[in-house]
A and B are shown apart, each in its own frame.
Chain A
C-alpha cells in the first residue's frame, strides 16, 4: 500500500471533483460544447495533461482500471508519470491493455483496438477552440459557436486546397458533433477521426490551461468537415508496420541511423506488442521475440 493518507482519493478534493463532474455532465448534455470550469493547479506543468488528469481524477473510482497513452505509446514519460500518479493517489489498477481498461487517458491518439461500451476515453487538449487561429477574439468565437457561424472553418480548408491542391490539415482536424457544434478533436491525427464517429465509448476532453471541458457521448455523430469535391480522407501508408506487419494502422517514422535509415512502426505500442505476441512479424522484427514489457502489473 502506498501512503495515500496525505491525499484525498485521486488527489483532488471532493468539492473540486463535484465541480468538474458538473462540467462533464453539461458537456455530455451538449455534445461538442466547450464548458468552462475552474481548472486547478496540478502537480505538473500546463501542457502536460493537466486537463486530462483533472477529468480522470474526477471520474475514477477504486474499481477502475486505468491506461494512459502518449502519442499511442504506453511507455513514454508522460504516460508513465500519469499512470504512476494515479497508482499512488488513487491506488487503482493500471494496465497497458486497451481492452481491459475502463478509463483510458490519451495524449493525441485513439487506440487501434476498438473501444467498447462502458469505456471512457479522456483526451488531453492543449487548445480547445477550433476557431482560435482564424479568429483570435474569444468573445467573437463564442458568439460564432452560439450562432453556428462556421463559414470560417471552411475558409481554412479552402486555403489548404488553394495552396496544396488538397486538404493538408493532418491533425486537429475539425469535426462537427451531432450536426451542431464544431469541435477540435485535440491534436489527434485525422486518421483517428473516423473512430470518434458513433463510438460506443464515452469521450471526454479536458483542457487545463484553457479551463474548458467538452464531451462526445457514446454513439454520437462526429463528422469531419470537408468539401463536396474534396471529401475528407485519412492518411494512408504504403508499407505495413516494420515490427508487426500491421496494415491500416497509424504508423510512426523511427530514424535508425545517421544515413537516412528509417522504419515505420505502429504508434500504438500495445497493439503492436499484442500482434507480435500472436506471431505477426514485420520485416525488421528482431529474431527472438522479447516478452512485452509490462511496466506495472495490475494489482
Chain B
C-alpha cells in the first residue's frame, strides 16, 4: 500500500443560491478503498458525488487527486481538457440510470470501445477483442456484442455501463445508486460482480446509495449525510452495528426486517 491517499477532500461546500447542497465535507480516500456515502434523498449525496467528479463546481473547498505520476493536483484548478481526460481514462462514473451513461443507439461493443478509441486506439480487431473480453467479465454473452443497449434488460445495461467504465483501467470509480431500480436477485448478482471487480482491479470507489445493505456489502468505510452535512463516518461495520449519531441510529433501525 502507498502511504498517500488517492483523493484528499477538504471543506467542500456547494450552495444552490441560499440552499445547501453539501456543506463542509472533508475526507480522504485511499487506493483500493471503497467509500459508501449514505443518507436519505435530498441529503446532498449526489451533489457531493457530482462535485467530486467535477461534473459540478463547488462553491468553496478543495479536492486534491494523486495523478498516476504521483503528483497531487487540485481538481478544480485543472483545465477542462485535463478534467475531461481524467474522466475518460483514470476515472469512471456509473449512473443510476444506465441510459445516462451509455450511448443507447450504438452497439454494446462500441459502447465498451468508445473510451479506447477516445484515447487513440485505432485497431478495430484489438478494440473488438477487448470489448469481447469485458463483456464476458460482466457476464454478457459474446453474441450480444452487436446489439444496442436498448435491447438489453435493466441489469444487463447496468453491467454494460460498468464494463464501459472499467475498460481503460481507471483507478477511481464514482457510482450513483448502482443497483437502484433493479430487482433483488439481479441486484445481488450485480453486487457480487462489482465486489469481485473492485477487489481484482484494486479500484478505489465512492458509492452513493440509500441502501444500507449495498453499503455493507461493497464498502469498507462509510459516511452518513443529513441536510448536506456529514453526521457520522467510520468503518462500515462499526457504523452499522454501533451507530452513534441519532440520525444514523434512526437510519439503521429503519431497515425492514424480512
Interface of A toward B, CB cutoff 8 Å: 143, 147, 149, 151-152, 154-156, 158-159, 161-163, 226-230
Can you name 17 A-B pairs with beta carbons within 8 Å? A147-B80, A151-B88, A151-B114, A151-B119, A152-B117, A154-B117, A154-B122, A155-B103, A155-B106, A155-B114, A158-B110, A158-B124, A161-B124, A163-B107, A227-B123, A228-B123, A229-B123
Q: Which B positions have Cβ atoms within 8 angstroms of A? A: 80-81, 84, 88, 103, 106-107, 109-110, 113-115, 117-119, 122-125, 127-128, 145-146
Whether B127 lies near A158 (C-beta < 8 A) is yes
Interface SS, A side: helix
Whole-angstrom CA separation of A161 from B113 in the bound complex: 13
Task: Please state if B123 and A158 are interface contacts (CB–CB under 8 Å).
Answer: no
Q: Is A230 within 8 A of B124, CB to CB?
A: yes
Given the complex, which residues of A lie within 8 Å of B106, measured CB to CB? 155-156, 159
A152 to B103 Cα, complex, angstroms: 10
Task: State the CA gap A111–B167 with chains docked (Å).
Answer: 45
User: A162 touching B110 by the CB < 8 A rule?
Assistant: yes
Chain B contact surface mostly: helix
Known: A154-B122, A155-B103, A158-B127. Contact between A149 and B84, CB under 8 A? yes
Residue among A143, A156, A161 with the most chain B CB within 10 A?
Answer: A161
B125 near A158: Cβ-Cβ < 8 Å? no
A228, B122: Cβ atoms under 8 Å? Answer: yes
Q: Which residue of A lies closest to B84 (CB)?
A: A147
Docked Cα-Cα span, A158 to B121, in Å, equals: 12
Q: Out of B81, B84, B113, which one reaches A158, CB within 8 Å?
A: B113
Is A163 in contact with B118, judged by CB distance below 8 angstroms?
Answer: no
State which of A143, A149, A155, A163 has its C-beta within 8 Å of the C-beta of B113: A155
| Docked CA distance A156–B110 (Å) | 8
Whether B115 and A162, one on each chain, are in contact in the complex, defined by CB atoms closer than 8 angstroms, is no
Given pairs A151-B118, A151-B119, A162-B107, 11 additional interface contacts (CB within 8 A): A147-B80, A149-B84, A154-B117, A158-B127, A159-B106, A161-B124, A162-B109, A162-B110, A226-B122, A227-B123, A227-B124
A228 CB to nearest chain B CB (Å): 5
Which residues of B have CB within 8 Å of A163?
107, 146
Residues of B within 8 A of A155 (CB): 103, 106, 110, 113-114, 117
Query: What B residues does A227 contact at CB under 8 A?
Result: 122-124
Instruction: Report B-chain residues with C-beta under 8 Å of the C-beta of A159.
Output: 106-107, 110
Residue of A nearest to B145 (CB): A162
Shortest CB distance A245–B (Å): 37
- Give A26 Cβ to nearest chain B Cβ, in Å: 22
Closest CB in chain B relative to A169 CB, distance in Å: 14
Nearest residue, chain A, Cβ from B114: A155
Q: How far is the CB of B239 from chain A (nearest CB, A)?
A: 40
